[in-house]
Amino acid sequence: MSDLKAMISKRLQLRKWRMEDVPYLVKGLNHPDTALRYGTSYPYTEEMARKYIEDLKRYEKEKFAIVLMENNEIIGGCGLHNKNGQISGDLWIAHEYQNQGFGTEASIILVKYCFSKYDIAQMDNSFFEGNHASQKMQEKIGGRILEKIFEEAEKTRVKTVITRERFYKAIGEGIAKGESHVFDSQQCDGP
């Protein structure tokens, strides 16, 4: 299951970035709130997007476009970082698609993929202090705050951890609450 070409839920597909995705990447990251929440450059240019996708391919990084299946539009991005066997994740959703459950839905797909590929007990994540949507999303899927780290530009990064056990318990509780559109994701070998 670790060599998946695509990962899907009821509304979303996660797939590798392609060069033809440059306009979507620029549009999604070229918003001041997005840059502030996720620590990206603003303005975000086509040249930056092309280099990003080229680097992903060159270094075989596990970074994915988040695609809304109803219209095939890219609404965000996510990925995994493997540093000496310690796995962490990242995710962003374009401004106009925020607060609709897409971040939680994409996170569930990504974390399921992570736990199916890597034999690990937990996955590390983080968010910038004040990004309440990211904090709520991580807590919804079993994340717990570990520590706060002051970084440059007077930002504080809050480190979190999602254990395998808490993650699958949270998914079960979400389905029980009738939120299966968010919590009932599947993985496939699709395009």
Residue 133's contacts (CB-CB under 8 Å, 6 or more residues apart) are 37, 98, 99, 103
Burial readout 44-58 (b: 16 or more C-beta within 10 A, e: otherwise) = beeebbeebbeebee
User: Coil, strand, or helix at residue 46?
Assistant: helix
pTM higher than 0.75, yes or no?
yes
Domains of the chain: 6-188 (3.40.630.30)
Q: Give which of 25, 24, 4, 6 is closest to 15, Cα–Cα.
A: 6
CA distances from 92 to 26, 112, 179 (A): 13, 17, 21
CA distances from 183 to 100, 107, 188 (A): 14, 10, 16
Which range (35-44, 64-73, 100-109, 112-121) has the least confidence?
35-44
Chain centroid to CA 140: how far? 14
pLDDT digits (tens, 9 = 90+) for 98-112: 999 999 999 999 999
Are 126 and 159 spatial neighbours (Cβ–Cβ below 8 Å)?
A: yes
pLDDT digits (tens, 9 = 90+) for 123-179: 999 988 888 989 999 999 999 998 888 766 677 889 999 999 999 998 887 655 555
Cα–Cα distance for residue pair 23/39, rounded to 1 Å: 20
- Find where tokens 């993985």 sit: 187
Mean pLDDT of 31-39: 82
Q: Taking each helix axis from N to C terminus, what angle separates 132-140 and 102-117, rounded to the nearest 10 degrees?
A: 50
- Please say if the pLDDT value at position 78 is more than 90: yes
